[in-house]
A and B are shown apart, each in its own frame.
Chain A
Amino acid sequence: MSKVKIDINHVSKLANLNLTKEEKEKFEKQLSSVLTYISQLNEIETEGVEPIGHITGMVNVLREDEPRPSLSQEDSLLNASKKQNGFFQVDSIFEE
């Protein structure tokens, strides 16, 4: 079984995580071994098998267009690490 390679810099960027050099080395190895394990599935013959995105068998789970009460502003912001006048506050997303 060939080892699956992983670009830890790309993956950590996509996950919005700042990793130290040690963490990068550690996670690169761990993620790679997870993917290698999963890749065993590629060995199964799937010719003629319908692709499936759901296994519950449910279809058309829908709701009518009826509004319901929302949370209060206070409750909405309860878990926010930073807030400002009823808004969630985050670092500026535009560069100087």
Chain B
Amino acid sequence: MVREETEFVNWEAVIGLEVHIELSTKSKMFCGCSTDYFTAKPNTHTCPVCLGLPGAMPKANKLAIKYTQLIGLALNCKTRTGSKFDRKNYFYPDLAKGFQISQYDLPFSENGHMFITTNGRTKKIGITRAHLEEDTGKLIHTKLNGTRLTLVDFNRSGVPLIEIVTEPDISSSLEAKTYARNLQQVVRYLKVSDADMEKGSMRIEPNVSLRKVTKGQESMVKELPPYKVELKNINSFKFAEKAIEYEIKRQRKILESGKMPKQETRGWNETKQETVSQRSKEEAHDYRYFPEPDLPPFAFEEKYFKSISEEIPELPDEKRKRFTKDYSLAENDARTLTEGVELAKFFEEAAGAYKKDPKIVANWITGEVLRRLNEENKTISDSPLLPASLAELLFLIDKGEITKANGKEILANMIKTGDDPRATVIKLKVTGISDIKLEEIVIQTISRNPKAIEDYKKGKEASLMFLIGQVQRITKGQAKPEKVREFVLRKLSEAD
């Protein structure tokens, strides 16, 4: 076949994500040690099983397996009826046994997908597999009397860890970040992990490579590049984004100079703002997987999958769609409100109490409520504020008992104390102006300014503004401007 000279168009990033998430079970994967190790002293949450002592027998945690299957179902995976654990053999000090119990050819869940939306475009990201394994110990690299050494804490060793692997369908740092955020959200909705990047209960390892796109082939199925670079040491979404961007630039430079980037593992160095080659003494990958002899295989019935899938709550995507439809919310507001289950629930309860207009409720939550919470680095669950109290506050503003400006101040206090709006109004002495009081002030103002009334009647619009200004001055801005205008106009027409 004669081919035309291929014309170079661009370099395209080919990114796959490996995400590890620690499951929030109370006990470890294969022993009864507590998983509550985060602030514990080193090596206080260990036993013969998770220390890999000879003769110790592992026994699988039922709930951890269920969590893995729930995540699989939520990610549209096929869940296997027959599954097992395998041994992955390698020597590394964070692995006491000399092998990690993981899953090789029969993962609990596989072949799923997730939709992500970036810049208004929706894309399907394939999920290759979601398998269960045990977490490793934690290594601390340090120096003692001039000698470099490594310290090991096995508290984390054996904590159930799910590994979720995508197809190389991701083509930008933004898509990678969006996918990871969505995944975090789903896992949190399922309440199977806190998926906290800073605490290390969620870890992202992108693998990045570049391929040449030639003219006419932009949308064709393309071959994968002959190399890939795995990125580690990423403990925030921001780092993931930066590391991927840096890596794309670095590899592009190498490729443009006619060379091929090395297949390797690189760590993100936040201080240097670059990825650094991680040369460790780790042996070439030859894991010699074989079925774990100490753990018999598993058989699940479709009936079981059906019953656990009923435990899956409404997931972020569905909830967001429902919010835009049922409450006529803007896409952005719906997205913000469904970020967490608690916030979504708060909104629905507040909107249920203030039926007049859910959009107003949404505006207050996405605006004032979140702004105040963010200022104090809190989430809605940390605040004693009740949804019904927010609704009541909105009623008070509608009735003109307080102004919107005062409402914000009152709300800030309610977020801290959980007091209801009326009690807060009294406490803060920010009472707006009652209708009777306002009427009184309007009558007084009009009687004191006969000249302005005359001018107004002659058609001088500025006189109306003057009168409104006078009323506002007396009320110290506590009355709603529209209301003052309405009252003044009414009194003026009555004075005719």
**Candidates A13, A56, A61, A86; contact of B59 at CB < 8 Å:** A61
List A contacts of B144 (CB < 8 A).
84
Interface pairs (30), CB distance under 8 Å? A14-B283, A15-B91, A16-B98, A53-B84, A53-B293, A54-B291, A54-B296, A56-B296, A60-B298, A61-B296, A63-B62, A65-B25, A65-B27, A65-B64, A67-B32, A68-B32, A68-B47, A70-B33, A73-B44, A76-B43, A76-B51, A87-B42, A87-B151, A88-B151, A88-B154, A89-B152, A90-B150, A90-B152, A95-B281, A96-B148
CB distance from A83 to the nearest CB of B (A): 9
Contacts of B91 in A (CB 8 A): 14-16
Are B43 and A62 closer than 8 Å at their CB atoms? no
Please, which residues of chain A bring their CB within 8 A of the CB of B286?
10, 14
Q: Are A86 and B60 in contact (CB under 8 A)?
A: no
Contact B141 A84 (CB under 8 A): no
Nearest Cβ on chain B to A38's Cβ, whole angstroms:
14
Chain B residues with CB under 8 Å of chain A are 25-27, 31-36, 41-48, 51, 53, 59-65, 84, 89, 91-93, 98, 139-141, 144, 147-154, 278-283, 286, 288, 290-291, 293, 295-299
CB-CB < 8 A to B152: which residues of A?
Answer: 87-90
For residue A92, CB closer than 8 A to chain B, the reply is: yes
Q: Are B33 and A68 touching (Cβ within 8 A)?
A: yes
Looking at the assembled complex, report how far the CB atom of B190 sits from the nearest CB atom of chain A, in whole angstroms. Answer: 16
Asked, given contacts A59-B296, A90-B150, A92-B141, whether A13 binds B283 with beta carbons under 8 Å apart, the answer is yes
Q: Total A-B pairs in contact (CB under 8 Å)? A: 147
A59 neighbours in B (Cβ, 8 Å):
296-299
Task: Give the Cβ gap from A82 to chain B, nearest Cβ, in Å.
Answer: 9
Binding site for B on A (CB under 8 A): 10, 13-16, 53-54, 56, 58-73, 76-77, 79, 84-96
* Set A14, A79, A89: member contacting B151, Cβ < 8 A: A89
Cα A72 to Cα B46 in complex, Å, equals 8
- Pick the 6 closest A-B CB pairs, nearest first: A68-B32, A53-B291, A87-B151, A92-B148, A65-B63, A58-B296
Main secondary structure of the interface of B (DSSP, over half): loop
Contact B296 A67 (CB under 8 A): no
A19 to B447, CA, bound (A): 108
Main SS class of interface, A: loop
Query: Given A70-B33, A70-B34, A76-B46, A62 and B26 touching (CB < 8 A)?
Result: no
Instruction: Say yes or no: A66 contacts B27, CB within 8 Å.
Output: yes
Closest to B160 in A: A65
B30 nearest CB neighbor, chain A only: A63
Inside 8 A of A91's CB, which chain B residues have their CB?
Answer: 149-150
B458: shortest Cβ distance to chain A, in Å? Answer: 83
Name 16 extra pairs, CB < 8 A, besides A62-B61, A76-B51.
A16-B283, A53-B291, A59-B298, A61-B295, A62-B62, A63-B59, A63-B61, A65-B61, A70-B44, A73-B41, A79-B53, A86-B43, A87-B42, A92-B147, A92-B148, A93-B93
B153→A87 contact, CB < 8 A: yes
A76 to B49 Cα, complex, angstroms: 11
Assess the B154–A93 pair: CB atoms within 8 A: no
Task: Tell me whether A67 and B92 are in contact (CB under 8 A).
Answer: no
B27 touches A94 (CB 8 A): no
Please tell me if the beta carbons of A66 and B26 are within 8 angstroms of each other in the complex. Answer: yes
- Give the chain B neighbours of A76 by CB distance below 8 A: 43-44, 46, 51, 154
Given contacts A87-B140, A87-B153, contact A67 B27 (CB under 8 A): yes
Name the B residues within 8 Å of A13 (CB-CB): 283
- Complexed CA–CA distance, A73 and B45 (Å): 8
A residues within 8 A CB of B31? Answer: 68
CB distance from B299 to the nearest CB of A (A): 5
User: In the assembled complex, which residues on chain A have CB atoms less than 8 Å from the CB atom of B33?
Assistant: 67-68, 70
Q: With A60-B298, A70-B46 in contact, do A54 and B151 touch (Cβ < 8 Å)?
A: no
Cβ–Cβ < 8 Å partners of A86 in chain B: 41-44, 153
Among candidates A54, A65, A71, A96, residue contacting B47 with C-beta atoms closer than 8 Å: A71
Contact A64 B62 (CB under 8 A): yes
**Complex Cα distance A68/B288, Å?**
32
Give complex CA distance A79, B56 in Å: 15
Cα distance A95–B41 in the bound complex, in angstroms:
28
